[in-house]
Structure 1
Amino acid sequence: MNAVHTPEIAAAALASSGLSPEQRAVALADPSAALTAWVRIDGPLDVVALRRAVEQAVAEHDLLRTAFGAVDGYRGLRQWSLPATPVLDWQGADLRDADMADSTANSTADGADEREGGLHGRGEGVSALHAWLGALATPLAIDEGRVVRAGLARLGEARHVLAVHASALVVDAGSLIALLARVAGIATADATDTEHFQYAQYVDWRAELASDDGAQAGNAYWQRHFAGAAVDAVAANTTGAVGVVRALNVADWQAPRLAKPLAPRAGRVQARAALPADLVRRLTDANANGDGDGDASAAGPERLLHAVWLLLLARLNGFEPFVAGWRHDCRADYDLMRGGMGLFEKILPMAMTPRPEARFSDWLAHCAAIATNHVDAQEYWPVDAPPTTAHREAVFGWREAVPPAAGWSAPEVELPERDVALSLDVHWGPRPELVLSADGTRHSRAALERLLCQFTTLLRAALDHPHAAMHMLDPVGEAERTALLAWRGERRDVGTLTISQHVAEWAALSPQAPAVEAQGETLDYRSLNQRANRLARAMSSLGVTPGALVALNLPRSADLIVAILATWRAGAAYLPLEPHWPEVRRKALLADARPALVLHAASLGGTNAVDVALHCRAAVLAGEGLSPADEPALDLCTLDADMPPSVAGLGDLAYVLYTSGSTGQPKGVAIEHGQLLHYVVGSSAAMDLAASRRWALTSSVVADLGNTALFGALFNGACLVIAEDADTRDADAFARFVDGRGIDAIKIVPSHLEALLDARSPRLPRTVVLGGEAAPRALIERIWRLAPGTVIHNHYGPTETTVGVLVHRVRPSDAQGADALPLTQVLPNTRVHVLDEAMRLVPAGAQGQVHVGGPQLCRGYLGREVPGVFVDDPFRPGERLYRTGDVAQVLAEGGLRLIGRADHQLKLRGFRVDPAEVEGALLTLSGVRQAVVLGMPGVGGIELTACVAMAEDGAGADVGLGGLREALKSLLPSHMVPARVMRVDDLPRLPNGKLDRAAIATLMASALTSSSTTTATSTPSVVVPAALGALDGLSGTSGPTASVQAASAGAPRDALETVLSQGMGLLLGRGPIGIDEDFFELGGHSLLVIRLVARLRKLLGIEIEPGLVFDHPTVAELAAALRAGPWDTSGFERLAATDWQTSETAGPQTATSKTATSETTASETATPSP
């Protein structure tokens, strides 16, 4: 900015001075920032006299005729006073023709009243007034000293609005309020002449403070505050709740975790509410008398309301340490500065370490002590270079109302708080008001309104029970409680027929309609029904009785679907097994479940020794043939095709799914037919499943992810199209499958879909249901970028609640909000509550554990009781709730957003994994003395990482870390085998003897970070810094050593190996890997193989299969296999010499979405901005 325009200005610039710290903060953030304030004036008005009053009030302050600009020889912005005040920019407007009826109502929908200047209502007049204010707020010429603009809008014959717009370099909110009060005094002849404090005095004073004797002590105070010393200074109460906390650094402090809006919007949003009159009386009476209810209100209104606000933030933040802001005006601390014009307000940090057991009265004293100490050290807080900005996320402000002149309303101020996410301002006066304003991209209006209700509810509770523990003071009022309890599924009659009986009905209604397509075979509903009936009769002849279990060791196939229906029609329940699981795993499940029959697939080699060892009756199923072990084969075609008599009912067991267990052993979740029916009916209604006629089954049935497609298709008379393994492990094959088979709906894990979209010509069904893990926003953006018409549903539910209980149809606005998609709709007949540890409803914005009730809750666990999982419903005596362990944040707009777990359980690629089970398997291996398994961030999401300490006697020393992974593959399914195994001398522990998982996570993160930067010519081993030894629970002066074992690495020898080394490394989230390093030993898995193959196809222009990577997992082996393949290799060196990154963007940018989008509205099909 060049400020030297005239000789007069140039001369003034020579006498320029620096800025105050508050001004420097504005200059660094946005020197063009400005504030606008306005008042409404009722009654006769001399417009000319009013304008003169404004000019006089402006002329009384040198700062309001100050120019700003660059001056040679100085860095940054400088300021200088002009010899004379520039002519005031005055803008008048006649808005009498606009309809101002809504703007003058005594009570608007926003809770505004007449004292608010008439700007918070609705109507054309209000819009016209806002438009005029917007025109008034155009940029100011601060380099010319034109830092103030004023105007008058005429609303009626005796009603006006006076507005002042001024640079944020010369005024804060308090200054504008004081300026308008001075104008009113001059205009009404109530003002008295007085000498005014000039801001230049303040600038000089602040400069002296920076180097005075108190500077060092002031700076040390703020360091102590962030280190927790302020907490130490407060005496502990009788509960010991306030005490010494571990020293923290500034960077450790985070703002409260408040809920993000469902539909973000640009600009600021606001909510207002009058403080209830009875609370005002209690506050003012106690303040006037110097006493109060249990020493609470006696602290004074400002301190009490501030403490309640901080308590509310603490409650919403789960009582975790946080930092908030306090907007304080130092003019209230110095009589000399009262009425001064300039920047005096500053946002001071309040680093809080709440203890839920602390009494509120102690919390109040604690907050008041911090505020008092802050006032003493406020000038030493570096407002222009704060060490953190987290304190600006949630701010509290207090403003004493200036008694307005007759006919004048109280001033309203619009602040340019672009970096203040949320601000509660208390306007204290005859009718105190609470004003919440927020960044619309961070908070919704609904959230602000709910927050105001929570604040007043909590304030009342604190006044009523000042000595209660803080966690006992509930911010959930009656209205919010009613709304939270009302968030449940609609009532829906599901009928009395099981899914199996519905299939039989479709066989009668549409016998020739396709029901199942698999491996080139199509079964219509009549054929499916008849085959299921015949197999059911055969099962009964083999000893399967009602209530028994039948284990299905079958791959995805038509036989599997027939077997499921047949099991039900024999009156039994099915137990799915994954044929590719280790034999030890299948044996453990069969030993626990004791099924009456095990069905095997002929394609997998028939029965095996596991069945014999466990005395399980076994048979091999191959289409219409059934071959029991050691008995003659049965031709199912010869059996009766009518429905057998022993069909299961709604109260009978339908299936058992084994999930990972926290005890180290898997546990079988038992689901009844009625529970399954409720899910299928409810999900069909919530997601309009019947509209899709060709559902793809792409996942294993050992987890219930695929049950949405499987039973959603059969219940609605649609066709279930079963994908072959190759269709789900190859991006191009998946695209051909979707396109060639006419798929219009799919249920899939987000990370799997992300990998499959790397095809050269990606294809997507019209409907995509995402489940099994969190769906990232980037995936939603990618889907809609490829196929804008795709209908996306986010689906959630633990196995114990029968597949899922919550759903959300994704909207374009969701892709612009928080990273995690919300869940807004509860399936019919189901109840979902988010509760705290005391089984109370958590308020909107807070976090708690998801609890589910209703007819979808499973029967329980097969053959065992698990305490604490199913609990009594506090809102419906005699009914159960399932405690999911999932932590969620309640959204003010309705719904919730999942944010984590209350335990260590993980969701990996759609499978539930409890690390304790993996740890137990590790401890069975030779030489493993200690083991911890954690989920660590990886390229495709969370990855299992194990940390082991080996036996001190050297046992198992001959088994490398890679050998441990190989050993685990014989014990656990592939999704439970850690991607990485690290070794330490000893696992760190807490003082109570428990493993210090936080310290172990730090070790892992350090090791993974080091290995990710390892070059291809070195072995990736990591020595953890000795500083880690200072973590809580670690003894000694040096930390344990962690290493990632790898094979001898080697540098690439040519361009092809170079691009493979680079590409594999990028997929693994690290640098290029050595040519002899095993891709899978370094953390590779099937989804990364899909992406690797897709990108190699784009880059090299050849048709390679995923199996080539599985068979040749090193760079050297894969490069050799590529050269030996049946394709032209002459261009390899030229293509491979290009940057691997070019494959990231190669290929088409759009995808075909099957079955066009005629039913989807424009707002739903809009492509979000990337």
Structure 2
Amino acid sequence: MKRPATLRQRDVWLAERAGHGGYAIPLTVVFSGKADVPRLRAAVEAVLARHPVLSCAVREEDGAPFLAPAAEPPRVLEGPVDAAEPFDLERGPLMRIGLEPGGDSCRLTAVAHHTVFDGESKSIFLRDLAAAYAGEDLPPLRDADLAAEEEARVAEVLGTAREFWKRRWRTPEPAALPFLDGPCPPDGPGEQIRFRLDADLDALGVTRFEAILASLQALLWRYGNTEAAIGVDLGTRADADRDRIGMFAAELPVFTRLRPDWTFQRLARSLRFEHGLRRDLRGLFRVREVPPTRAVSGITPGTALPQVSLSYRRRDAVPEFPGLTADVDWISFNGVGRGALRVVVADGPEGCDVSLQYQTAHLDRAAAERIAGHWRTLLAQVTAAPDTPLAELVDEPQPRHDTAVSRPPVTLVDLFEQQAARAPSAPAVVEDERTLTYAELDAAADAVAAALAGAGASRGSLVAVQADRSACTVIALLGVLKAGAAYLPLDPSHPIARLAFQLQDAAPAVVLTPKRLLGTVPVHDAPLLVVEDATSAGGDRKGARPEPADRAYVLYTSGSTGRPKGVEVGHAALVNLLLGVGERLGDQAGRTWLGLTSPSFDISALELYLPLVTGGRVVIAPEALSGDGAALSLLVKRHGVTHVQATPSGWQLLLDGGFDRPDVTALAGGETLPRPLADAVLARTRRLFNMYGPTETTIWSTCAQVTGPVTRPQVTGSVTIGLPLPGTTVHILDEGLRPLPCGVPGELCVGGAGLAFGYLNRPELTAERFTTLPSGERIYRTGDLARFRADGELEFLGRRDGQVKLLGHRIETGEIEARLLEHPDVSRAAVAVRDGRLAAYVVTAAEVSRAELRAHCAAALPSIMVPARFTALDALPLTPNGKVDRAALPEPAARPAAGAALTGTASTVREIVAEVLRMPEIGPDEDLFELGVHSLLITQIAARIRTRLGPDLPLHVFYDTPTITGLAAYADRLLAKEAV
């Protein structure tokens, strides 16, 4: 006789069809004594006869599951049965039983599918088995349509359930656990850690279940899960079915909002006495039979389940088997991990046995043991002192790094002048065929300082410098510092509107520019000084010398509110960075650095100044070579460059250009460094250092020397960001600025000598991002997620907010969104990163072309901040609290079809472009700039065309004919000329 499946059985059936596993429930009993095996086998048969559900299969009819007799009934086998062996739901049966007699013991193993068995079924099975073995008759169960009865009960409380979840439902967030590589899928191959809780839970004045649930909530909170959700198994048996084996269990989320000032006793008792979680638990119990998918719109079974779950069951003593002693494994494991962590507790007269289960692909055994250790420590703490504040639980000290240093009270100017005095005739700056000695550079900078003083700049002033990569810029920047002023570098490649904003916002005393860049300087009120005029006039430096406590430079970064912000960095911070990196790299005297980075990008200060304070030289990479990896590689070789610093994207460009210099020390930073790229760079250089640091902490804060392949890939597959530099401190903190245990993701906060003063003319923003810890230490909240590894090194895990990094540049998506909203037809806008490129999503009042939106952005934003793709939407997806749901933003709008297959040169060009853009299908006439091509990608494409086809395409071709067809046609023309 077939029966429709109940809601719980249907959920399991659907999950199994979706490819999820872990629905086998094993039970093992070892009988000590002389077991009557035929009698035991007959007892098993009696239990199977009383519970026909165990002899069923699950079949489908009109898209719905129902239970029907299996093709063959379950048989008692000799030998063990395997929990990992999958069940055939269509054929059945859904239980396997094995008996292993042997001497003075006998082992019974049973494995049942979750559609017909749950945790309470274990007790019912054993109770009936003991009764049958003792010779008792097992009465038949009432015949019932369980699905219909369940539907009636659900209908009765559905309104209550909707009201209950309306005030409480939140989509469970990914769990933060020590060393978790996540987020985890619903299930996967797993392992378990077993132990018995030795804490005196009864001393807390609450039930053991309440104590265990409260302790797990507290533990997750200490791991930084501010709104932790724990899936709790609740039984759904009706009173009439207390003796029925079957699937009568629901896993429902318990949401938690804890306060740091609570004690553990306050939390535990809130579950029992107060109008807090106890009310939620009581309400949850009343609506436990209603699946959340029925009560809350827009959720699916997969999104409804938290990543951490608790199965707690209080069991009675093992039933008596005449003449035998039965040892039951109540927490047998089926080998499948559920979510990030599943805690199974069997609470019996002997104590609480625990199985802590995890997915091995996302959590290793050492990490799981660490979690188990933290939990047991927490329980020991709170049972000994229930009034312990939550913030003091699992108070594990973070790795401490002795980075304290004593720096001399000097400025960059002092260090440079000392070096110039030691070796005045040594080369300092090389540009093309021109070389400036230390004496020449010192004199030229003095002349600029004198001219600035005459123009009104003095100690504490701010001087804007139109700065490209050139020897002239190095002279200008040093001249500003020698005048006692601070410099503000302006990038002449940026839109004129952005430069005008910076000048208006910063209000510099003087604007300084090379003669060739005069036409790129916006209209402004400050005096304008030309560098060449100042140096040709000569003159000794005038005015006060800078002091270590003075400001050295102001550098504008992207702003989350749409307004760029100027970071003020002091001389002491800059000196600490230069000396600290020099100490970490070692052997700096006389080294040659490549000046590769734009002066408006803060990392340029390291490659310009570190050689100048250690007796080395800097070789300026001409602007014309900035995107040509092959030419840059030749430049490095020709000048014997020993140190090259670049973003990971820049290193890819160099490698594509054939870079191979085994005597070069490589520095990478500004973006996540993928492991394969790190290995490739390491194979072609002498040493590789991975650097990390925001502008607000003066260029770099941590450093890791990359030495070889990792043994366990981390979340991003990247290398670590290492240890703090000298004079720097690092902390991993939760939202309340409390230190998190090792391995737990949190906000990376940086302190020490590298901290900037703050943001220019933005005291409210300075107060928000620069704060003071209870210890009195001033720190900067980076907004980056990181965690300490077991060896004390730092692992970068991404951003906490809308900030992203592309090509080493820190970009606030809010600034791009603000620019889009300035378009008269754009009412809503969101920007996200898709496939390594910026994608914009807009809601418009009228149809606006992608070209128009791109031009609108390009008029005020640097090219790196102009989205590559634009997608029009009717509305932006929102989270339940009304924020833009960036994860729900669709893939960018589809491009035109790739069209007919290409042959010859065009086929190879399309293959190259597809590799570089990571887009499998590209139309022959699609505008490459609309697909996200920029100058760096152009040079990568050109380098690969040169390698595979031979012709060297000039850069203007990419701008003149930016299509596959256009590039292939030009390449064919060059090939034809070569053939002639």
Q: Shorter-chain TM-score: what band? A: 0.7 to 0.9
- Name the CA distance, whole Å, in 2 between partners of 1:837 and 1:755: 38
The 8 Å contact of residues 70 and 78 in structure 1, kept in 2 or not, is answered as yes
- Name the CA distance, whole Å, in 1 between partners of 2:214 and 2:179: 24
Partner of 2:216: 309
Shift of 1:770: 3.7
Q: What amino acid sits opposite 1:425 in the alignment?
A: V
- Name the CA distance, whole Å, in 2 between partners of 1:968 and 1:86: 72
1:491-517: CA deviation from partner (whole Å, max 9, x where unpaired): 222333334434445556677876544
1:1024-1073: CA deviation from partner (whole Å, max 9, x where unpaired): xxxxxxxxxxxxxxxxxxxxxxxxxxx89986567666765776666756
Partner of 2:932: 1083
Shift of 1:534: 6.1
- Name the CA distance, whole Å, in 2 between partners of 1:38 and 1:689: 68
- Name the CA distance, whole Å, in 1 between partners of 2:537 and 2:917: 51
Shift of 1:671: 0.7
1:1087-1121: CA deviation from partner (whole Å, max 9, x where unpaired): 33234323433453322233321233245544444
Greater displacement, 796-805 / 368-377: 368-377
Answer yes or no: is 1:244 the counterpart of 2:167: yes
Partner of 2:3: none
How many pairs are equivalent? 926
The 8 Å contact of residues 454 and 475 in structure 1, kept in 2 or not, is answered as no
1:213 to 133, 136, 148: 148
Distance change in 2, residues 1:196/1:648 (3 Å) = farther
The 8 Å contact of residues 260 and 443 in structure 1, kept in 2 or not, is answered as yes
Distance change in 2, residues 1:736/1:424 (3 Å) = farther
- Name the CA distance, whole Å, in 1 between partners of 2:618 and 2:279: 66
Shift of 1:449: 5.3
Partner of 1:232: 163
1:663-708: CA deviation from partner (whole Å, max 9, x where unpaired): 5443321111111223334444556685995544432121213334
Shift of 1:217: 5.2
> 3-state DSSP class of the match of 1:1012?
coil
Answer yes or no: is 1:193 the counterpart of 2:139: no
Answer yes or no: is 1:816 the counterpart of 2:713: yes
Answer yes or no: is 1:876 the counterpart of 2:795: no
- Name the CA distance, whole Å, in 2 between partners of 1:179 and 1:876: 57
> 3-state DSSP class of the match of 1:388?
helix
- Name the CA distance, whole Å, in 2 between partners of 1:510 and 1:271: 65
1:907-948: CA deviation from partner (whole Å, max 9, x where unpaired): 3332333445445555666xx254555332333344456655
> 3-state DSSP class of the match of 1:555?
coil
Partner of 1:477: 392
1:90-129: CA deviation from partner (whole Å, max 9, x where unpaired): 9xxxxxxxxxxxxxxxxxxxxxxxxxxxxxxxxxxxxxxx
Distance change in 2, residues 1:1071/1:447 (3 Å) = closer
The 8 Å contact of residues 468 and 491 in structure 2, kept in 1 or not, is answered as yes
- Name the CA distance, whole Å, in 1 between partners of 2:880 and 2:670: 37
Q: What amino acid sits opposite 1:302 in the alignment?
A: F
Shift of 1:978: 3.5
Shift of 1:818: 0.7
1:256 to 153, 168, 175: 175
Shift of 1:618: 0.8
Q: Percent identity?
A: 26
Partner of 2:284: 370
Q: What amino acid sits opposite 2:675 in the alignment?
A: I
Q: Give 1:574-613 correspondences, 5 Å limit.
A: 574-602=487-515, 604=516, 607-608=518-519, 610=521, 613=524
Q: Give 1:153-164 correspondences, 5 Å limit.
A: none
Q: What amino acid sits opposite 2:530 in the alignment?
A: A
- Name the CA distance, whole Å, in 1 between partners of 2:80 and 2:860: 81
Answer yes or no: is 1:796 the counterpart of 2:796: no
Distance change in 2, residues 1:526/1:311 (3 Å) = same
Partner of 1:1012: 894
Shift of 1:336: 3.6
1:627 to 527, 533, 550: 533
The 8 Å contact of residues 88 and 149 in structure 1, kept in 2 or not, is answered as yes
Answer yes or no: is 1:557 the counterpart of 2:508: no
The 8 Å contact of residues 869 and 884 in structure 1, kept in 2 or not, is answered as no
- Name the CA distance, whole Å, in 1 between partners of 2:243 and 2:402: 63
> 3-state DSSP class of the match of 1:669?
strand
Partner of 1:965: 854
1:244-297: CA deviation from partner (whole Å, max 9, x where unpaired): 367x9xxx7665354644899998566667656454323xxx5xxxxxxxxxx2
The 8 Å contact of residues 1013 and 1070 in structure 1, kept in 2 or not, is answered as no
The 8 Å contact of residues 62 and 81 in structure 1, kept in 2 or not, is answered as no
Greater displacement, 792-801 / 671-680: 792-801
- Name the CA distance, whole Å, in 2 between partners of 1:366 and 1:264: 27
Q: Give 1:815-964 correspondences, 5 Å limit.
A: 816-819=713-716, 821=718, 823=721, 825-836=723-734, 838-841=736-739, 849-867=747-765, 868-870=767-769, 872-877=771-776, 880-886=778-784, 901=799, 903-918=801-816, 921=819, 928=824, 930=826, 932-943=828-839, 949=845, 961-964=850-853
Q: Give 1:1141-1156 correspondences, 5 Å limit.
A: none
Partner of 1:1103: 952
Q: What amino acid sits opposite 1:438 in the alignment?
A: Y
Shift of 1:883: 3.6
Q: What amino acid sits opposite 2:231 in the alignment?
A: A
Shift of 1:579: 2.4
1:8-57: CA deviation from partner (whole Å, max 9, x where unpaired): xxxxxxxxxxxx99899899878998969699xxxxxxx9x757578975
The 8 Å contact of residues 692 and 744 in structure 1, kept in 2 or not, is answered as no
Unaligned runs of 5+ in 2: 1-8, 260-266
The 8 Å contact of residues 1057 and 1115 in structure 1, kept in 2 or not, is answered as yes
Partner of 2:44: 61
Q: What amino acid sits opposite 1:443 in the alignment?
A: L
TM-score, with structure 2 as normaliser: 0.75
Partner of 2:863: 974
Answer yes or no: is 1:326 the counterpart of 2:239: no
Q: Give 1:48-447 correspondences, 5 Å limit.
A: 50=33, 60-62=43-45, 80=72, 88=79, 148=98, 193-195=134-136, 212-214=147-149, 216=151, 230=161, 232-233=163-164, 243-244=166-167, 256=175, 258=177, 260-261=179-180, 275=197, 277-282=199-204, 286=205, 297=206, 300-306=207-213, 309=216, 313=220, 318=225, 324=231, 326=233, 336=243, 348-352=250-254, 354=256, 361=274, 362-371=276-285, 373-374=287-288, 387-388=301-302, 391=305, 393-400=307-314, 411=329, 415-420=333-338, 421-429=340-348, 430-432=350-352, 434-445=354-365, 447=367
2:409 to 485, 491, 496: 496
- Name the CA distance, whole Å, in 2 between partners of 1:1089 and 1:524: 36
> 3-state DSSP class of the match of 1:552?
strand
1:557-601: CA deviation from partner (whole Å, max 9, x where unpaired): 333334433433332322212122233433433344344544433
Distance change in 2, residues 1:179/1:848 (3 Å) = same
> 3-state DSSP class of the match of 1:416?
coil
Q: What amino acid sits opposite 2:533 in the alignment?
A: S
Shift of 1:710: 3.8
The 8 Å contact of residues 180 and 411 in structure 1, kept in 2 or not, is answered as no
1:520-543: CA deviation from partner (whole Å, max 9, x where unpaired): 455566665566556555655665
Greater displacement, 531-540 / 1112-1121: 531-540
Q: What amino acid sits opposite 1:193 in the alignment?
A: A
The 8 Å contact of residues 65 and 81 in structure 1, kept in 2 or not, is answered as no
Shift of 1:365: 3.4
1:650 to 548, 571, 574: 548
Answer yes or no: is 1:780 the counterpart of 2:675: yes
Unaligned runs of 5+ in 1: 1-19, 40-46, 91-135, 154-159, 235-242, 287-296, 621-625, 951-956, 1018-1050, 1132-1170
1:304-342: CA deviation from partner (whole Å, max 9, x where unpaired): 5336535755785755686736387989996646xx8xx
> 3-state DSSP class of the match of 1:213?
helix
1:628-668: CA deviation from partner (whole Å, max 9, x where unpaired): 4xxxx6275xx77xx99954231121111112334544332
Q: Give 1:1148-1167 correspondences, 5 Å limit.
A: none
The 8 Å contact of residues 629 and 656 in structure 2, kept in 1 or not, is answered as yes
> 3-state DSSP class of the match of 2:775?
coil
The 8 Å contact of residues 826 and 842 in structure 2, kept in 1 or not, is answered as no
Greater displacement, 212-221 / 435-444: 212-221
The 8 Å contact of residues 29 and 326 in structure 2, kept in 1 or not, is answered as no
